[in-house]
Amino acid sequence: MESWGPMLRALLSGPGRRGGTRGWAFRSGQPHLPLAGLSSATELVNHWTGVFEKRGIPEARESSEYIVAHVLGAKTFQSLRPALRTQPLSPQQLQCIQELSSCRLQRMPVQYILGEWDFKGLSLKMAPPVFIPRPETEELVEWVLEEVVQRPRVEGAQDGPLILEVGCGSGAIALSLLSQLPESRVIAVDKGEAAISLTHENAQRLRLQDRIWMVPLDVTLEGSWTHLLPWGPVDLVVSNPPYVFHQDMEQLAPEIRSYEDVAALDGGEEGMDVIAHILALAPQLLKDSGNIFLEVDPRQPELVSRWLQSRPDLDLQLVAVRRDFCGRPRFLHIRRSGP
Ligand SMILES: C[S@@+](CC[C@H](N)C(=O)[O-])C[C@H]1O[C@@H](n2cnc3c(N)ncnc32)[C@H](O)[C@@H]1O
């Protein structure tokens, strides 16, 4: 969650088209920046890259390329036809680029400016303050998919796995699992109203709404898990919980601190506040031998392992730790013991 670099770079490639610009991203009364003599997409990208660099905006070129491409209806600058890069833009397009770039000067993340972002090939609507899905979370989803595919199917079972996601945010994890596992169903929980409604909207956009139930719920509240009992025991719990150590919150980039919900990030003193609640409630909701997959901070595999040893009553075992694309231990697989 610390840097935008890998996120932008990871998604920089791959052609495709986006819809038009999102009205909500515009701000009236932005300072007018001189554009005289600039008219082509390439010139605009160079101009705004220079402005962003001067003002210390991270990923200056990527940001300006995304904005210009978006206004021209493309996903990436690289995917624009060469002719579109050099022909003059309309006054409306120039104005649009100026307004979106002004948002970037206010350190608004590109994902919120564009109003949509890709996660595992799904185009999701993004809106502040709902957490923007990070590329490493795609690796968590991959691991869950591997596990589900390898799992021996229970004879006579009609349905695919029933999955509980704690902290669904925009719906990135839940919806990518649903799209890859056609027989699965997901219960998606979040304490944020904005997150629940964005997951709902994204489920509708992707026509996955019939296999997902959204439940507004704070898992740290006493007995909250009882609201989930009507769905029956689940096969798997997955979560990318708030796990940032409280003292690290100050060091997060302005893009994160100013625009994303603190509740999506701050995990308390050792980042374990919500993680501990998920682990404590999981045995009440999981089937025997059910699995938990978590994304965590690199310091937390050790903390979680010690925490589980202190709670043998939960019958949970840390079975594997995986590293992210930067080589840091970031993903946990925990299993509930069988009968
Ligand atoms: C790091 S974000 C992950 C969002 C999404 N799953 C993703 O990976 O992009 C954590 C999410 O957990 C939610 N959350 C935080 N505390 C919670 C709690 N006590 N109960 C339920 N959800 C919570 C936040 O609102 C936020 O949407």
CATH of the domain at 284: 3.40.50.150
Say yes or no: CB of residue 137 within 6 Å of ligand 1.
yes
Residues with Cβ within 8 Å of 13's Cβ and at least 6 positions away in sequence, in order, are 76, 78
Position with higher pLDDT, 240 vs 33: 240
Q: Range of 317's domain?
A: 117-336
Domain count, the chain: 2
Last residue of a domain, one of 93, 114, 135: 114
Same structural domain, 45 and 122? no
Same structural domain, 68 and 140? no
Say yes or no: CB of residue 244 within 6 Å of ligand 1.
no
Same structural domain, 93 and 121? no
Same structural domain, 124 and 180? yes
Q: What is the pLDDT of residues 110-148, one digit of tens each?
A: 999 999 999 999 999 999 999 999 999 999 999 999 999
Same structural domain, 165 and 181? yes
Task: Report the C-alpha gap between 335 and 147 in whole angstroms.
Answer: 12
Same structural domain, 189 and 309? yes
Q: What is the pLDDT of residues 2-45, one digit of tens each?
A: 343 333 333 332 222 232 322 223 333 344 444 556 689 999 99
Q: How far is the CA of 254 from the centre of ligand 1 (A)?
A: 20
Q: How far is the CA of 317 from the centre of ligand 1 (A)?
A: 23
* Residue 212 bridge partners (DSSP): 186
Same structural domain, 177 and 267? yes
Same structural domain, 104 and 123? no
Cis amide prior to 283 (ω within 30 degrees): no
- Predicted confidence (pLDDT) at residue 1 exceeds the cutoff of 70: no
Last residue of a domain, one of 96, 114, 132: 114
Say yes or no: CB of residue 184 within 6 Å of ligand 1.
no
What sign does the dihedral 173-175-181-186 (CA atoms) show? positive
Q: pTM here?
A: 0.90
Same structural domain, 210 and 121? yes
Tokens 């992707």 -> residue: 206
Same structural domain, 106 and 238? no
Same structural domain, 262 and 132? yes
Alpha-carbon Rg for the chain, nearest whole angstrom, is: 22
Same structural domain, 144 and 98? no
Say yes or no: CB of residue 173 within 6 Å of ligand 1.
yes
